[in-house]
Structure 1
Amino acid sequence: MAAAEIEIDVGLVRALLEAQHPDLADRPLRVAAEGWDNVMVRLGGDLAVRLPRREPAAPLVVHEQESLPWLAARLPVPVPAPVRVGVPSTDPAYPWHWSVVPWFAGHRAADVPRPRRQRLAAPLAAFLDALHAPALDAPVNPVRGVPLTTRDQAVRRRLADPRVGSAARLAAVWEDALAAPLHDGPAVWVHGDPHPGNVVVGDDDGLAAVVDFGDVTSGDPATDLATAWLTFDDAGRAEFRRALAHRYPADDPVWVRARGWAVAMASAMVVDSSAEHAWLPPLGVESLDQVLADASADDAASRH
């Protein structure tokens, strides 16, 4: 993971709030999470402050600020639409936009065993069904929603890494995805980062929220359907696909491309994660195992 370009701590966040949203500045603050791109600081009991930690992430927060208020009203699942917007500051010194967003109680789906995630299959499918509406003015993202050929070099580099394993079999899955027909419908809204670390689960194991829309864009819905392998086991995946069959039938090439996207995303988790995100490589390995198991089942079915 890239190093932070700015050290974000409670003192900086409180100073930003005092300068721009003073009515919130006396609330308790604590750093809740630090991701590839952003830091989340808990703000009282019901809010959080989301701040980029490096320059490439700065436009992504602006994308969320522009897109999420419109999307939130149309989605069946809570999403972190900003309730306040922060702007670049010289005193205190902070160069990028930032947001105050709702805090969703629960825990990430990545911390729930895959068999228990099956309860998420139908509601997550409903979320994507609603999200995948035609998008004419979504933010541009060069690495999500795009043809898989644009990711070929990066994926082949990762598949050559010994930490991935089963390189030849995964390369075959990747080749199938590259050969699949391209998305030929309208560009639709795409979440862009559909792994279970961005899915919030409530105490009842139900879907509480979908978060981290930094990669939001428009294009091929296959990018988001990769969650079939990133999030679920075979039973959950089957339920997820059944719930979307009215829109994406079993023989739609979108699923072949989606499995390719799962290879792209999961291999990045294995190869490009850092020690401070120790939960991501195991998630990547599990997801690649799901891809391979699914591919083996397809091969067996084709022989009969």
Structure 2
Amino acid sequence: MHEGQLAVDEELAGELIAREFPRLRGLPVVALPGAGTVNAIFRVGADAAARFPLASASAADLETEAAALTEFALACPLPAPEPLGVGQGDERYPSAWSLQTWLPGDVADPIRSARSSSLAADLGGLILALRAVPVGGRVFDGHGRGGVLADHDAWMTHCLSQSAGIVDVGRVASAWEALRSVPVAGDHVMSHRDLTPANLLVAGARLTGVLDGGSFGPADRSLDLVCAWHLLDAAPRSALRAAIAPSEDEWRRGAAWALQQAMGLVWYYRESNPAMARLGRSTVRRVLEDQDVARAP
């Protein structure tokens, strides 16, 4: 999916896991198919998962991620993976990697889950619980989404140039112009920072677990609202809005972050990860159809 992407298969992953965590030697190591774009993930036995970054990462980076994951698991009202350790690579796989507890469940689907009022209620409870964690003087780290919307103008221009024929780039450009300047809607809060379907586990219509909490930290209070457009059609999206009771600016900024993220998916993963590209298209459609957010200022 990415230029220079690191490669690791079940055999190599098994060797590295056995070397770094001898207690796991002999357990089956099974690659997980899915829409992940940052890590290759392997289930290890019944109770663990190994995450091998697709781009080289340092042990220090993954230890920082593990600390955030621990804090997230304590704050999350639903089950979340907990860190088990960080492993070293070698000349065959030149990166650190991490081991976490395994969390069962089905990944949320942006189409099958779209009309679920129960899921909307669960998402509202999750977001409010994370916001209740004190920021404690911490500030947004400046990485990725969660800061100033207009800082992403150049990226959006590039995405628009790559997306002709995939989405209605004229309407997307108009929507972004309307949303990019929506003012900040309050102080930063603690945020998962990537509440996409791939990181949400469900059983039927209920949310049962949350993955990938290693970026838990302060960000724009609107950022976690991306799940409203990534996952929900109009009626349950309104229910989520009622549960959180955001200001109009806060809600519209959530749509802006969802649109920014989705536009990076529709073209970049069109060939290499069709599931992610489909998510991008469905999110763009929901934002453009939402007259409460996509209108001109």
Any idea what the Cα deviations from partners look like across 1:63-85, whole Å, max 9, x if unmatched?
42121112211210112221x11
Range with greater deviation from structure 2 (112-121 or 25-34):
112-121
Q: Equivalents in 1 of 2:186, 2:222: separation in Å?
A: 12
Work out whether 1:38 is the aligned partner of 2:39: yes
Q: Normalising to structure 1: TM-score of the pair?
A: 0.86
5 Å matches for 1:19-58? 19-33=19-33, 35-55=36-56
Q: Equivalents in 1 of 2:129, 2:151: separation in Å?
A: 27
Q: For 1:158, give the aligned amino acid.
A: C
- Paired residues of 1:163 and 1:271 also in contact (CA < 8 A): no
Partner of 1:159: helix, strand, or coil?
Answer: helix
Q: Equivalents in 2 of 1:5, 1:272: separation in Å?
A: 14
Q: Equivalents in 2 of 1:15, 1:138: separation in Å?
A: 39
Which among 257, 275, 279 is matched to residue 275 of structure 2? 279
Q: Equivalents in 2 of 1:183, 1:293: separation in Å?
A: 23
- Paired residues of 2:229 and 2:255 also in contact (CA < 8 A): yes
5 Å matches for 1:230-249? 230-245=230-245, 248-249=246-247
Range with greater deviation from structure 2 (13-22 or 150-159):
13-22
Note the C-alpha offset of 1:119. Answer: 2.3
Unaligned 5+ segments in structure 2 are none
Any idea what the Cα deviations from partners look like across 1:39-88, whole Å, max 9, x if unmatched?
11011122211111212697764442121112211210112221x11232
Partner of 1:99: helix, strand, or coil?
Answer: strand
Range with greater deviation from structure 2 (270-279 or 133-142):
133-142
Partner of 1:113: helix, strand, or coil?
Answer: coil
- Paired residues of 1:229 and 1:291 also in contact (CA < 8 A): yes
Aligned to 1:77: 78
Q: Equivalents in 2 of 1:123, 1:70: separation in Å?
A: 20
Aligned to 1:177: 179
Which among 237, 256, 263 is matched to residue 260 of structure 1? 256
Q: For 1:102, give the aligned amino acid.
A: T
Note the C-alpha offset of 1:33. Answer: 3.3
Q: Equivalents in 1 of 2:214, 2:71: separation in Å?
A: 15
5 Å matches for 1:62-211? 62-82=63-83, 84-90=84-90, 93-110=92-109, 113-132=112-131, 133-135=133-135, 136-137=137-138, 140-160=141-161, 161-185=163-187, 187-202=188-203, 204-211=204-211
Label 1:138 to 1:200 Cα distance change in 2 as closer, same or farther (>3 A): farther
Work out whether 1:18 is the aligned partner of 2:18: yes
Aligned residues: 293
Label 1:221 to 1:173 Cα distance change in 2 as closer, same or farther (>3 A): same
Aligned to 2:288: 292
Residue identity over aligned pairs, in percent, reads 28
Note the C-alpha offset of 1:221. Answer: 2.0
Note the C-alpha offset of 1:165. Answer: 2.6
Unaligned 5+ segments in structure 1 are none
Q: For 1:273, give the aligned amino acid.
A: Y
Q: Normalising to structure 2: TM-score of the pair?
A: 0.88
Q: Equivalents in 2 of 1:297, 1:69: separation in Å?
A: 35
Aligned to 2:5: 5
Partner of 1:142: helix, strand, or coil?
Answer: coil
Note the C-alpha offset of 1:148. Answer: 0.5
Label 1:146 to 1:164 Cα distance change in 2 as closer, same or farther (>3 A): farther
Label 1:68 to 1:214 Cα distance change in 2 as closer, same or farther (>3 A): closer
